[in-house]
Structure 1
Amino acid sequence: MLIYPQFNPVALQLGPLSVHWYGLTYLAAFGLFMLLGIQRLKHQPYASLQGPQAWSRRDVEDILFYGVLGVVLGGRLGYCFFYKPLHYLSHPLEIVQIWTGGMSFHGGLLGVIVALVWFARAHHRPWLQVTDFVAPCVPTGLAAGRVGNFINGELWGRFSPPDLPWGMVFPQSGSMLPRHPSQVYQMLLEGLLLFVLLWLYARKPRRLGEVSAAFLLGYGVLRFTAEYFREPDAFLGLLSMGMSMGQWLCVPMVLGGVLMWRWAQGQPLPGARAH
């Protein structure tokens, strides 16, 4: 049985300015996206596009800018209205208090979708071409975020068997019984594993929408699975059918991924000749 090491959430103190580890994990996520986006330019069909439709490093930088806005705004609004709608409707000024904590991946995803629609229209590109470009570059950022959750000692797991070698006690949970380190599970599953699978899959030419569909399906299934080991939010508990809010939010992701996949099968492969 392991004991949570109680990390100091402040990485660096410069006078009145506190630099938190969680903020640094966001910076790491954005930096990883930039590095992977530059490598993604070498994949098809992006490497072979010419003229006005050609992709460049500037496109990656612009997508990052749009994406940061989508993650922050969507993640905050998603948390407020998916998890505590009555509270934030009664206290609307607290919505902008991001420093108090509270972000939602599913809200961030919706925010990024809106941001990528904006980018696609501004740059006159097919929206699914943009989402296919972005999808394999996202999971490493998710992994970085879960590292931040672990450092903060938040979003701990459900109780684990007493003999589980990596079961961990989180004293801040109010119990000295071992729990699943679900932040680590999520980092490994929806972060690193999803990245490897998507990156390898996206390196070969794929039909329009296939990579985006694979992301929705992959993340939805892996997050749904990880939620069985994660302690539900105390103010929500388990919802209908014994599922958590995170699991219910994954259901439309998986359904959307299936529908997008079926639609993509009717699209031509890049470089294929029409008959």
Structure 2
Amino acid sequence: MTYPDIDPVALSIGPFEFGGQSYGPLDIHWYGLMYLLGIGIAWFLALRRAGFSHTVVQRSHVENLVTYVAFGVILGGRVGYVFFYHFDYWLSDPLWLFRVWEGGMSFHGGLLGVIVALALFSWRARLSFLALNDFVAPLVPIGLGFGRLGNFIGQELWGRQTDVPWAMVFPKDPEGLARHPSQLYQATLEGLVLFTVLYWYSSKPRPRGSVAGLFLVLYACFRIFAEFFRQPDQHIQFDLFGWVTRGQLLSLPMLFLGIGLLVWSWQRQRQRPSSGQ
């Protein structure tokens, strides 16, 4: 299959003239629009689910909560990308951390940023930290799914070489190989499937912490699986045994933490049968 001819720039505005100088044009990329779309849909669903009897979040919390989470994603994603994937380069050029316009985001860093943001918000709003994580967890896959679609449109993070019937040739690939469209695999698993399962699971009262635990387990499993089809980072390749990628390695702590959180939450529920979320 040939990659569809999609311009990664959704809209170009300008150029502009100001003070005798010409600026622009300003390019608005699909990748950024996908994130905005994901945040907007998550905001809508958060408003819809706020105030349910089994959640601690009220509609009055949602605006500030979304703001905290958005900053956590952006700051954590950037810091994670720099430290997890380009630490050596950062040591030689520390200011590169702040040149966000050069690109680079990491999900695992974004997750840590969101956890810190939720900890701050729970302290400020005097809400249960675990209950807040349970509320946010089903909304995260929306941004993940749209973000992977943005990767596909931008022709980045493509898959490994393959001869499956749906293999795709990406025009930006200097080798011109037929590859797995791994961005679409991840958009389906980390976005659509993960959202569907978590949204259904969280629609009823569950043991506190179990929704967040299920998110960690499922995302880790989906990411580890998808990494077998995704081309490893060129400058890193494999971290262990000649086949374990950086993404898989970073997902293992999520898997173990998620399993532990699920076991703890359900054991706590059995000890307190009348307790809910």
- After TM superposition, is the score higher than 0.5? yes
Match of 1:168, as an amino acid? M
Does 2:47 align with 1:38? yes
CA RMSD of aligned residues (A): 1.5
CA distance in 2 between counterparts of 1:267 and 1:42 reads 24
User: Quick one: which amino acid aligns to residue 200 of structure 1?
Assistant: W
Equivalents in 2 of 1:237, 1:131: separation in Å?
33
- Larger mean Cα displacement after TM superposition, 31-40 or 198-207: 31-40
Unaligned stretches of 5+ residues in structure 2:
15-23
**1:93 aligns to 2:92 (yes or no):** no
Give CA deviations for 1:21-80 in whole Å, capped at 9, x if unaligned. 11101101110110111222254412xxxxxxx632221111110011100000000000
Residues 117-162 of structure 1: per-residue CA shift (max 9 Å, x gap)? 000000001100100000001101100000110110000000112x
Can you give the 5+ residue segments of structure 1 that lack an aligned partner in the other structure? Answer: 47-53
Structure 1 CA distance, aligned partners of 2:38 and 2:135? 16
- State how many pairs are aligned: 263
- Kindly, what percent of the aligned residue pairs are identical? 46
Q: Structure 1 CA distance, aligned partners of 2:142 and 2:257? A: 22
**1:203-214, aligned counterparts within 5 Å?**
203-214=203-214
Aligned to 1:49: none
2-structure distance, mates of 1:39, 1:11? 30
On the 8 A contact 2:51/2:58 being kept in 1, the answer is: no
Look up the equivalent residue of 1:41 and give its one-letter code.
A
Q: Is 1:260 aligned to 2:261, yes or no?
A: yes
Classify 1:171/1:18 alpha carbon distance in 2 versus 1 (closer, same or farther; 3 Å). closer
**CA shift in 2, pair 1:64/1:42, >3 Å:** same
- 1:43–1:57 distance in 2 versus 1, CA, 3 Å: closer
- Which residue in 2 is equivalent to 1:168? 168
Contact 1:43–1:203 (Cα < 8 Å) also in 2: no
Q: Is the Cα contact below 8 Å between 1:9 and 1:152 reproduced in 2? A: yes
User: How much does 1:272 deviate?
Assistant: 4.8
1:217-228 to 2 correspondences below 5 Å: 217-228=217-228
Show the counterpart of 1:75: 77
Partner of 2:216: 216
In structure 1, the partner of 2:36 is 27
- Note if contact 1:44-1:203 (Cα within 8 Å) is conserved in structure 2: no
Q: 1:14: Cα distance to partner?
A: 1.3
Question: 2:216 & 2:53 partners in 1: Cα distance?
Answer: 20
Is the alpha carbon distance of 1:42 and 1:196 closer, same or farther for their aligned partners in structure 2, counting shifts above 3 Å? farther
1:22 partner letter: Y
Q: Which has the higher contact order (CA 8 A, sep 6+)?
A: 1
Residue of structure 2 equivalent to 1:51:
none
For 2:251 and 2:118, locate their aligned partners in 1 and report how far apart those are by CA, in whole Å. 20
Check conservation: 2:51, 2:59, Cα contact below 8 A. Answer: no
1:177 offset after TM fit, Å? 2.3
Q: Matched residues in 2 for 1:229 and 1:108: separation?
A: 23
1:11 counterpart residue number: 10
Residue 18 of structure 1 deviates from its aligned partner by: 1.7
Distance 1:244 1:44, change over 3 A: farther
Q: How does 1:140-179 map to 2 (within 5 A)?
A: 140-161=142-163, 164-179=164-179
Return the offset for 1:176.
2.2
Equivalent residues of 1:169, 1:175 under 8 A apart: no
Are the structure 2 counterparts of residues 171 and 12 from structure 1 closer, same or farther at C-alpha, using a change threshold of 3 Å? closer
